[in-house]
Amino acid sequence: MIRQEAKETLWRWRELGIGILFSFLGLFWFIQSFGLLKWMGGGFVVLGLMLIFIGQQRGRFRHSEKGVGVVGFVEGQITYFGPIEGGAIAVSDITGVTLITHEGIKCWRLDQNGQDALIIPVSARGAEHLFDAFAEITGFPLEPMLRQLAQKATQSSIIWRRDDYGHDQKYLH
């Protein structure tokens, strides 16, 4: 039987572990084999290195603590259902992303023109789907976002804003 904490840690860093396994297997095949298997080994090394890069970013984004609410991300739309607040926002409509502290909890604030902001706790169930949503946004700084997320700051920090942030003209009657 594996301890729950160890299981959660392994699950958090799963892509990184798979990437390491692919890299070692590919390196073994590349060194020990010949012909087609040798070249497949080289491909496995490249694939493993890509998984390591992606896995370390996703692992840094995920949180092990359990927060309130449930986050969903389906066909370009983020939904959040919490005990008090909730809502939905299309990724294409997001004009700003801010990391805030809301009622003592670290949260994402997703802004859109003409609508109220959507506040999502960082530790909400399914919040790891926000990484995929943020990766879809053109010009979104993933690495600076991960650094801000790792800090223990209680002040708000703007992660990204679109050029038309705060311009509500196209949403008026």
- CA neighbours closer than 13 Å in the CB half-sphere of residue 111: 18
139: which residues sit within 8 A by CB, 6+ positions away? 160
CA distance 97 to 64: 22
Please compute the mean of the pLDDT values over residues 8-28 and round it to a whole number: 93
Dump pLDDT digits (tens) for 143-162. Answer: 999 999 888 877 899 999 99
CA atoms within 13 A on the CB side of 95: 13
Check residue 56 and give its pLDDT: 94
What integer pLDDT is reported at residue 170 of this predicted model? Answer: 56
pLDDT of 64 over the 80 cut: no
d(CA 96, CA 79): 16
Highest mean pLDDT among 48-52, 81-85, 122-126, 153-157: 48-52
What is the pLDDT of the chain when averaged over all its residues? Answer: 90
Distance separating alpha carbons of residues 86 and 79, to the nearest angstrom: 8
Q: What interhelical angle do 129-136 and 142-150 show, nearest 10?
A: 140
Q: Is the dihedral of CA 121, 133, 160, 110 positive or negative?
A: negative
- Which residues touch 96 (CB under 8 Å, ≥6 apart)? 109, 110, 111, 158, 160, 161, 162, 165
Nearest to 96 by CA among 164, 173, 168, 27: 164
Q: Is the pLDDT of residue 167 over 70?
A: no
94 Cβ contact list (under 8 Å, min separation 6):
110, 111, 112, 137, 162
